Copies of this chain bind each other. A is one copy, B any other.
Amino acid sequence: MPTIKDVAREAGVSIATVSYVLNKKDTFVSQETRRQVLEAIERIGYTPNITARNLKSSRTRLIGYAWHEVPNDQVNPVLDRFTYYLAQAAEAAGYHILTFTHPTDDPLPVYNDMIRTQRVDAFVLAGTVRDDARIRFLQEADFPFVSFGRSNPDWDFPWVDTDGRQGVREATEYLIGLGHRRIGMAAWPEESISGSFRLQGYFDALDAADVPFDPAYLVRGKHSEQAGRDALAYWCSLPRDEQPTAIVAITDLVAIGIMNEAERRGIVIGRDLSLIGYDDVPMSQYLRPALTTVQQPILEIGQALMRLLQMVLIQNSSAAEHALISPRLIIRDSTGALCR
């Protein structure tokens, strides 16, 4: 592989000159010399070695992103598709994504190692939770990062997130608009941050429409298909005229559980019971009936993450920036007007 020396020799100039025409676009290199160098580069097919550049500049133009292991019985809602857009946004900014893995229960040593070896310039975090150890660690280490997802409200760090509150509010309002008043909410446990935001959207919509909240309509469960089944089973145990006529599920996977349980009980989704999911996992459109859901704007999220990251990286502005991106309600066939 040719080096800058080869170009210099070929063009009959010093390596410094070559470097000049390579970098300082407008430095004082004569037209003639520049042309010669460019021709030499072209002729021998030279491309600067990125490792050497990195060493010189103490940067790697690499952004670390940790994979989350997804249990086999679970569906990763958005992260897999997200990664593609993240990579694309990174490239547009002159970076690449370096992926790595770590034990779920002990991520810090791996992050630490990446920092100490100076493998990456920054991290993108995803799947953040309350009291997220990674956030605390990276802030402590004063190492650049941006998070996809919020964490403790009193922590000040740069993040991008979907506006789950807004998304679920829209979903719930849509159901109210269809005439529904008894609307069930299949939520996550209280610890979940994003779950809390989404739930808040449910309350927002109820409040705005003056629909009183009935605690019986709020069921909490895990991120699983079974949780959906359990929720519907519970609601079906209520007296007939107190059962929800519509349900908002915190995630498509839970919605699928509800659909499956509904089928088992002979309840027709979209007619007897309206259902809205959240995430728009790829399969949602092929469910029977196709699932009305809230779509996460993963393309925009990837772009926003890189935008914030560049602010952190370039301006070294420790001013924690945020971006809250509105999701989109995708109306399909699992929702219908209340028929009484």
A267 CB within 8 Å of chain B:
no
User: Are A96 and B96 within 8 A (Cβ)?
Assistant: no
User: Are B74 and A282 within 8 A (Cβ)?
Assistant: yes
A91 CB within 8 Å of chain B:
yes
Distance between Cα atoms of A261 and B81 in the complex (Å) = 27
A326 CB within 8 Å of chain B:
no
Tell me the smallest distance from the CB of A146 to a CB of chain B, in Å: 17
A80 CB within 8 Å of chain B:
yes
Residues in B whose Cβ lies below 8 Å from that of A220: none
User: Are B96 and A49 within 8 A (Cβ)?
Assistant: no
How many copies of this chain does the complex contain?
2
Flag A281-297 by CB within 8 Å of B: 1 or 0 each.
Answer: 11101101000000000
Tell me the smallest distance from the CB of A74 to a CB of chain B, in Å: 7
Q: Given contacts A97-B99, A98-B98, are A75 and B118 in contact (CB under 8 A)?
A: no
Chain A stretch 31-66: residues in CB contact (< 8 A) with chain B:
45, 47-52, 54-55, 58, 60, 62
Residues in B whose Cβ lies below 8 Å from that of A52: 55
Tell me the smallest distance from the CB of A305 to a CB of chain B, in Å: 15
User: Are A98 and B101 within 8 A (Cβ)?
Assistant: no
Residues in B whose Cβ lies below 8 Å from that of A87: 67, 99-101
A316 CB within 8 Å of chain B:
no
Residues in B whose Cβ lies below 8 Å from that of A286: 225, 253, 256-257, 260
Tell me the smallest distance from the CB of A106 to a CB of chain B, in Å: 15
A116 CB within 8 Å of chain B:
yes
Q: What band does the interface of chain A fall in when counting residues whose beta carbon is under 8 Å from B?
A: 35 or more
Distance between Cα atoms of A256 and B290 in the complex (Å) = 12
Tell me the smallest distance from the CB of A285 to a CB of chain B, in Å: 7
Distance between Cα atoms of A49 and B286 in the complex (Å) = 49
Tell me the smallest distance from the CB of A298 to a CB of chain B, in Å: 10
Tell me the smallest distance from the CB of A275 to a CB of chain B, in Å: 14
Q: Which of B55, B70, B101, B260 contacts A51 (CB 8 A)?
A: B55
Interface centre among A49, A67, A84, A101 (most CB of B within 10 A): A101
Interface centre among A55, A259, A263 (most CB of B within 10 A): A55
A83 CB within 8 Å of chain B:
yes
User: Are A60 and B70 within 8 A (Cβ)?
Assistant: no
Closest 10 CB pairs of A and B: A80-B80, A47-B116, A50-B117, A283-B283, A75-B282, A67-B84, A51-B54, A51-B55, A97-B99, A88-B101
Extra pairs beyond A70-B282, A75-B283 (14, CB < 8 Å) = A1-B118, A47-B117, A48-B117, A51-B55, A51-B58, A51-B60, A72-B282, A76-B80, A83-B99, A84-B101, A96-B99, A96-B100, A97-B100, A257-B286
Listed A/B pairs (16) with beta-carbon separation below 8 Å: A1-B118, A49-B55, A50-B118, A51-B60, A52-B55, A54-B54, A55-B55, A67-B84, A70-B84, A75-B282, A80-B80, A87-B101, A253-B286, A260-B286, A260-B288, A283-B283
